């Protein structure tokens, strides 16, 4: 499962059609979020995750996830799911993966489906 998650994150980083600046947000969420377009910060988050610098990735990605960046929400969910860079927390993992799905991440939906099936 981790290999599949790694492939998904790699596809996010290097996929030509995926724009990290697309951070759709909603107002009917458990979190009140504002739209932030900072593709450089989100790329740093993804780079840190892919290079296994999980402590740095968690700090950076969590702050981006909280302001609505869906790829950061996906990565944050994965870090909570596997206990990378933070203590393993299935509840927070599911929360962030669901938030990424609500913001349009198909990758997060696939990961969430796998995550639910393994619980």
Task: List, in order, residues 6 or more apart from 40 with CB less than 8 Å away.
Answer: none
Domain limits, the chain: 2-6+39-118
Exposure of 32 in the CB half-sphere (CA atoms within 13 A) = 0
**What is the rounded distance in angstroms from the CA atom of residue 3 to the CA atom of residue 13?**
15
Burial degree of 84 (CB within 10 A; 0-12, 13-18, 19+):
middle
14 vs 95, more confident: 95
Supply the pTM of this predicted model: 0.69
What's domain 2-6+39-118's architecture? Alpha Horseshoe (1.25)
pLDDT digits (tens, 9 = 90+) for 61-95: 999 999 999 999 999 999 999 999 999 999 999 99
């Amino acid at each position: 499962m981790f290999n599949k998650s790694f492939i998904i994150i790699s596809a996010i980083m290097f996929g030509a059609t995926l724009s990290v600046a697309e951070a759709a947000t909603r107002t009917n969420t458990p979190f009140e979020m504002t739209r932030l377009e900072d593709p450089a910060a989100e790329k740093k988050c993804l780079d840190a995750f892919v290079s296994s610098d999980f402590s740095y990735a968690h700090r950076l990605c969590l702050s981006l996830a909280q302001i609505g960046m869906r790829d950061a929400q996906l990565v944050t969910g994965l870090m909570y799911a596997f206990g990378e860079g933070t203590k393993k927390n299935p509840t927070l993992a599911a929360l962030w993966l669901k938030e990424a799905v609500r913001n349009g991440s198909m990758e997060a939906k696939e990961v969430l489906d796998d995550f639910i099936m393994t619980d």
